Amino acid sequence: MGQALPEIRPAPVAALAVERLRLRDLRNWARLDLAVPAGPVVLVGPNGAGKTNLLEALSLLAPGRGLRRAAPSELDRRPDGGPWAVAARLAGRHGVFEMAVGREPGAERRTVLLDGRPLKDRGRRAELVAMLWSTPAQDRLFQEGPAERRRFLDRLTLTLDPDHAAQVATYERLLRDRAVLLRDGRRDPAWLAALEARIAAVGVAVAAARRQLVAALTEAGAAEPGPMPGVRLALEGEVERWLEDEPAARVEERLAAALAASRELDAVSGGAAHGPHRSDLLVRDAASGEPAAACSTGRQKALLVGLLLTHARLRGALLGELPILLLDEVTAHMDVRRRAALARALEELGAQAWLSGTDRGLFAALDGRATFLEIDNGTIVGDERPSHAAR
């Protein structure tokens, strides 16, 4: 998002959706071929049944390493078995298309196919497949260190700016290159200055993209509050502060100068004392102003889901398409009132949402409106569709 966000688009808004999902040899799933109707999909079953594994399979269709950030070989069903593969027919603003992802035999690499042909353009993949997810690992997102919050924010940014992931990856690679030079004592001033100028240019672009999204999310949440609680967001970091008062070109100069001045310190630490990799996402409850980290566990979960729903609405308004939502154990820590609010929010949003939980009763508010799939040991043992849906 080095450029300005696109303008708000008028309705209608499409919803990206999986129409058919196929997979093999992934985690505890041997085979699956599932046609999915419109509306929410609820996965119900005991712990270890394979609910999260199925959501993870879906997440692998989007750019990145999936909702567990697993290495390719970690996803194989058996160490001595064939490599895993996931394929889906999806429909959205780009029409109907097939996306397939799988591990290359004998390698720690993934192959991505679009309509049967290799796809290496990560930006194109991000443009086609946008997903947002919530997992139990994120239940402490607001309490733990800033690295996970930056990663969370970057995934949100990616669904609006397909080039953002490449920018972040380039920035991190350049920082590593600089760290190697400083560690090995190769201090050629011209070489380092050129590298630090490049780090500054990419780093400021990353910081600017995050700032634009944070501002847009805060504005969207205030303008269109939904049934779930809203949040106020802010970015804390020196680069972000500089961007409040100075043009990007001047901030690039300041960051390059700061990196040059900290070479000795960074040679010892092995890192970099300046840059957007040190920034943090600050989150507050919009109603009370209380920091999210100080809220109850249930309130934190509701704030996180509310933020995802606000982002989904924003993407629909900006790009004309809602992302797919993957909400793993989403009702954990939610009381009856919040579970009802979640069901109402999903109905109002209209995005395809995949939800999981151990107890069917936790999703009573979705009865008659969602597809309920009972999962056990990597198999669908029960399949209940809404009355208007056909298999």
What is the set of domains in the chain, with CATH numbers? 1-14+136-334 (1.20.1050.90), 17-129+359-391 (3.40.50.300)
Name beta bridge partners: 357.
44
Enter the DSSP assignment of 359: -
What is the spatial distance between Cα 289 and Cα 300, in angstroms, rounded to a whole number? Answer: 13
Tokens 């900290």, residue located: 262
- Whole-number Å distance between alpha carbons of 382 and 46: 13
Which distant-in-sequence residues (6+ apart) come within 8 Å of 339 by Cβ? 331, 362, 363, 364, 365
Give the per-residue pLDDT at 8.
60
- Give which of 228, 230, 229, 231 is closest to 348, Cα–Cα: 228
Number of C-beta neighbours around residue 107 at 10 A? 11
The series of mean pLDDT values per 10 residues for the chain, 391 residues long, is 58 90 96 94 97 98 94 87 92 96 92 96 93 94 94 95 94 97 86 97 97 93 77 95 97 98 95 97 93 93 94 94 97 91 94 96 94 96 82 50
pLDDT given at position 1: 45
pLDDT for the residue 222: 76
41-44 vs 110-114, strand pairing mode:
unpaired
Q: Is 2 exposed, middle or buried (0-12, 13-18, 19+ CB in 10 A)?
A: middle
Look at residue 78 in the predicted model and tell me its pLDDT: 81
**Nearest residue to 332 via CA among 364, 300, 288, 374:** 300
Q: Which two tokens stand for residue 77?
A: 């069903």
Report the C-alpha gap between 103 and 83 in whole angstroms: 6
CB 6 within 8 A of CB 354: no
pLDDT of residue 230: 87
| Residue 203 CB neighbour total at 10 angstroms | 29
pLDDT at 225: 67
Alpha-carbon distance of 286 to 383, in angstroms, equals: 39
